[in-house]
Structure 1
């Protein structure tokens, strides 16, 4: 029976290991596809990342699943689905191994970005600082530059342009030193979010567009053309601004990037207002307001946080219940072990008592036999002594008889001598 069980276990183990290896290989392929499609087709990237995450169980930590979830949330953030992104980021926390600091920092960085998109800049900066500290401790300068870039965008959204410029320039310096083209294009684009030297910023945008076209980064190109339109607006070149913004809208519409479409509406309303086409300006402004309300609603953020808090409460409640169940099981195991120990000790004591009693009876029997043998020996000795005494008595009687015979013989002899003399 044991051999059969061992054989079943071995077969299950041999079949499980190849399946796990196959899942990991498939997940890595899907993650590579998701990463490749992230900026060119975020919807496709979201699909690939979701498929990769679905290959792993939901109730245990797994770094590959966590990485897939982070990519999924990043893709949804690019599509403007900030609420979905933040919910899944909170869910991702339970799949990350606490020892994996890099993945934890990636999570904090993306959470900070999404919070800033939702309008909670304090929370965004707090999470960004945490991510930056971890990346610095790991010596990951490329990721530190990414955090600086996100921090610069946050300060831009707070209208703190000088602080934003400082962080973005620091990020650009690091990325140029490492020749990280994608991040260089991102930094150059973000340096053009606000007004300044128009010609210089347009040159930044042209460089970013050249890089992103080479990388086929559709989302980034939409953002680039939005910022180009903004800079042309600052430079009062309104026809070029509308032309650039139209290109931005085409890129954004093709990939379904709601945030970029919202920016297009906003910048277009500026340009139409500047050229006196107030009908178009009002139309774009209304479209921007409706879409921005959908993207950046404070009520939505509160609802998301309430849902997350409730989910955490449920998870905590479940964990507490599981802990109580575990405690009860452990207590039952301990009681069973204690009862078993008592039974074993009782059985051992009973066996010992039985053997001791049996041995004692055996010793008593031996003692009785010994005493009986002693008694029989004493009886034998007494019989022997009695026989000796009887023998002595017989001997004495014999000696007396012999003496009497001798005396009688002497008497006869004397009488005969006397009769002869007579």
Structure 2
């Protein structure tokens, strides 16, 4: 799981990708990388390797996402998702749901983002991935925050915080405090400074 810097708010999200953050390489090199992924997909199709094919589409989607082409990213993530669902690969199915949710988030479609993050969360719970579950709660909290539903945002972020503490995820814990601080600052409830200070300590 990684956190990328697609825009000034992206540090708030928890984003798993098949490639990592490649945006710093620049547009020219990302286009080059996309060509390699296209070839990877072609080879996978020739070999009849469904797993490699799904990974190729997921990587291509991630490359599109990293240069801000979120609509195209969604297309390729959905192709990957369909394959992973068909072969019963639950962890990667969840990854695709999260990546699609993140793409919709950056497109400003927070309701769609929530729909996909909930699908990812359901799988994380089924397979017992506590770290992934915590990150899904964070993504849901951030999306509800941007929808203006602060009560739901707080509930999801507190769920994420609880798990982060249980599993010793200091980075996740810090991220939760920071996100909660942002919300309480909007609500003017005086908890912003306390939560911000807790975030700094971690």
Note whether the superposition's TM-score is higher than 0.5. yes
Confirm whether residue 97 of structure 1 aligns to residue 48 of structure 2.
Answer: no
Alignment check: 8 A CA contact 2:157 2:179 kept: no
Equivalences for residues 80-119 of structure 1 within 5 A: 81=24, 83=26, 84=29, 87-95=32-40, 96-98=43-45, 99-119=48-68
Q: Equivalents in 2 of 1:85, 1:211: separation in Å?
A: 38
Show the counterpart of 1:281: none
Which runs of at least 4 in structure 1 moved beyond 6 Å after TM superposition?
A: none
Q: Which residue of 2 aligns with 1:136?
A: 85
Q: TM-score, normalised by structure 1?
A: 0.36
Query: Once the 2 structures are TM-superposed, how far is the Cα of residue 125 of structure 1 from its aligned partner?
Result: 0.9
The partner residue of 2:161 within 206, 220, 241 is: 206
Relative contact order, higher structure (CA 8 A, sep 6+): 2
Q: CA deviation at 1:130?
A: 0.9
C-alpha deviation, 1:74, in angstroms: 2.5
Per-residue deviation, 1:235:
1.4
In structure 2, the partner of 1:122 is 71
CA distance in 2 between partners of 1:103 and 1:128 (Å): 14
CA–CA separation in structure 1 for the residues paired with 2:72 and 2:89: 23
RMSD value over aligned CA atoms? 3.0
**Deviation, structure 1 residue 179:** 0.7
TM-score normalised according to structure 2 size: 0.68
Corresponding residue of 1:288: none
Residues 1:242 and 2:186 aligned together: no
Unaligned residue ranges in structure 2 (runs of 5+): 3-17, 186-190
1:107 and 1:174, CA in 2 relative to 1: closer, same or farther beyond 3 A?
Answer: same
Which has a greater percent of helix? 1
SS in 1 for 2:44: coil
2:19 is aligned, of 74, 77, 80, to: 74
Aligned residue runs from structure 1 range 226-237, under 5 A: 226-236=175-185, 237=191
CA distance in 1, matches of 2:201, 2:194: 11
Q: 2:12: which partner in 1? A: none
What runs of 5+ residues in structure 1 fail to find an aligned partner?
1-37, 40-72, 249-422
Q: Using the alignment, how far apart are the partners of 1:190 and 1:199 within structure 2?
A: 12
Task: State the Cα distance separating 1:163 from its structure 2 match.
Answer: 1.6
Q: CA 1:82/1:122 → structure 2, altered by over 3 Å: closer, same or farther?
A: farther
> How far does residue 127 in structure 1 lie from its aligned partner after superposition?
0.8
Secondary structure (helix, strand or coil) at the match of 1:74 reads coil
Is residue 116–residue 154 contact of structure 1 (8 Å, CA) maintained in 2?
Answer: yes
